[in-house]
Amino acid sequence: MTASPALAPARKRRSTATDLTLIASFAALIGACSLLPAIPVGVVPITLQTFAVILAGAVLGASRGALAVLLWLAVGAIGLPVFTASGAGLAPFAGPSVGYLLSFPFAAFLTGFIVERLPRKRIATSIPLILLAGVAASVLVIYPLGALGMAWRADMTLAQAFTFGLTFLPGDILKDVLMAIVATSVHRAFPALLPPRGRAAVTA
């Protein structure tokens, strides 16, 4: 028995509403993690922003994860205090953290892109693989763009900025471990949360 064609638009509306709810929820989570007390380290403090950003990609997938980060950035840019130390407006985009802020949507996208391509039957138990996805996003996206931002806005050479950025590595690995544990737990509870892969994707 096939479903009535009239049900298709209703299902699409429910799917869109669910996506918007998830995106807004993770944008709020990133904001909440940003407002937690930061550890001052030089010109850029240590926060839980990266944990929430990478988690958004690992849980929601590439597109929705990136949109959640973009929503958080947009909310902060228009004046709501959702950045570190209750920062708001465009001032954070003119400071030493600008590279990190701009890197976050790309990092969420890359994490989600990798996680979406993991064998679906193993995602809920693939803590090491999801961990590697988060580390890859940090090393390939967040650190390079973060260093460029510091070199631009913090009166550092590019080499100094890269060296300074490496001080975040131990803490980021710990955050990625926590992210992977949380992400696998979410996928275990909600196995259909990730968007469906294309027909060309290999199933397992």
Q: How confident is the prediction along the chain (204 residues), in pLDDT tens digits per residue?
A: 445 555 556 556 658 899 999 999 999 999 999 888 666 555 566 788 999 999 999 999 999 999 999 999 999 999 999 988 778 899 989 888 899 999 999 999 999 999 999 887 778 778 999 999 999 999 999 999 999 999 998 888 999 998 988 888 888 999 999 999 999 999 999 988 888 765 333 333
Question: Is 201 within a domain?
Answer: no
Question: Is 149 within a domain?
Answer: yes
pLDDT of residue 204: 39
DSSP letters for 54-98: HHHHHHH-HHHHHHHHHHHHHHHHTT-S-SGGG--TTGGGGSTTH
Question: Is 197 within a domain?
Answer: no
pLDDT of residue 131: 95
Question: Is 151 within a domain?
Answer: yes
Its pTM stands at 0.86
Question: Is 8 within a domain?
Answer: no
Nearest to 82 by CA among 32, 45, 47: 32
pLDDT of residue 119: 84
**Beta-carbon contacts of residue 101 (< 8 Å; ≥ 6 apart):** 73, 83, 92, 93, 149
Question: Is 195 within a domain?
Answer: no
**DSSP 8-state class, residue 85:** G
Question: Is 158 within a domain?
Answer: yes
CATH number for position 25:
1.10.1760.20
Structure tokens at 85: 């130390």
pLDDT of residue 1: 45
pLDDT of residue 36: 81
Q: How many domains does the chain have?
A: 1
Question: Is 6 within a domain?
Answer: no
pLDDT of residue 88: 85
Instruction: Tell me the residue range of the domain where 153 lies.
Output: 14-189
